[in-house]
């Protein structure tokens, strides 16, 4: 094997994707069965909790999800009565999304489950490792966001 061969298991984008896929599948088990929420729908609910009155396009920017995935997830959430889409008062050409009372209730039930899962993941890291990991993720994120 030459130095130029790609060893997929050592390739950073692959490793990050692999880890993310496993984590996402395990998280999805927490909210898909009992609550009937998909991973994309969960991302949208979490963003709407933090950023009410945003458009689907803005949700896409905040989640790095493509437009089709956002559109399907928003439609699913609206159909389930968890998200409401209304015309913006500031710009009548734009619609904004908000969680309904039921959406907030479901979010409130899921939130502690995902927080506990995150804690179980991060508990294997020392405080110093966690700090360094956080710094490195921030650094990599800033780098790819400027590409």
What would the pLDDT profile of 64-95 be if each residue is shown by its tens digit?
999 999 999 999 999 999 999 998 777 777 88
Residue 4's pLDDT is 76
CATH class of 8-145: mainly alpha
Average pLDDT for the chain: 93
Phi, psi of 40 (to 5 degrees): -65, -40
> Model confidence over 89-126: pLDDT tens digits?
777 778 899 999 999 999 999 999 999 999 999 999 99
Alpha carbon 65 to its chain's center:
8
pTM assigned to the model? 0.86
> Rounded to 5 degrees, what are φ and ψ at 103?
-60, -40
Using CB atoms within 10 Å of the CB of residue 124, give its burial: 0 to 12 exposed, 13 to 18 middle, 19+ buried: exposed
- Scored b (16 or more CB within 10 A) or e, 49-88 reads eeeeebbbebbbebbebeeebbeebbebbeebebbbeeee
Per-residue model confidence (pLDDT) at position 92:
76
């Amino acid at each position: 094997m030459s130095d130029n061969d790609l060893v997929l298991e050592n390739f950073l984008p692959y490793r990050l994707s692999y880890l993310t896929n496993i984590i996402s599948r395990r998280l999805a088990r927490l909210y898909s069965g009992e609550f009937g929420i998909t991973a994309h729908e969960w991302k949208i609910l979490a963003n709407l909790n933090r950023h009410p009155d945003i458009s689907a396009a803005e949700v896409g920017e905040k989640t790095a999800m493509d437009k089709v995935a956002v559109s399907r997830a928003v439609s699913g959430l609206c159909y389930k009565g968890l998200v409401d889409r209304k015309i913006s008062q500031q710009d009548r050409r734009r619609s904004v999304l908000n969680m309904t009372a039921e959406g907030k209730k479901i979010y409130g039930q899921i939130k502690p489950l995902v927080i506990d899962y995150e804690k179980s993941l991060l508990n294997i890291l020392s405080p110093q490792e966690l700090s360094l990991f956080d710094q490195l993720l921030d650094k990599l994120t800033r780098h790819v966001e400027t590409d």
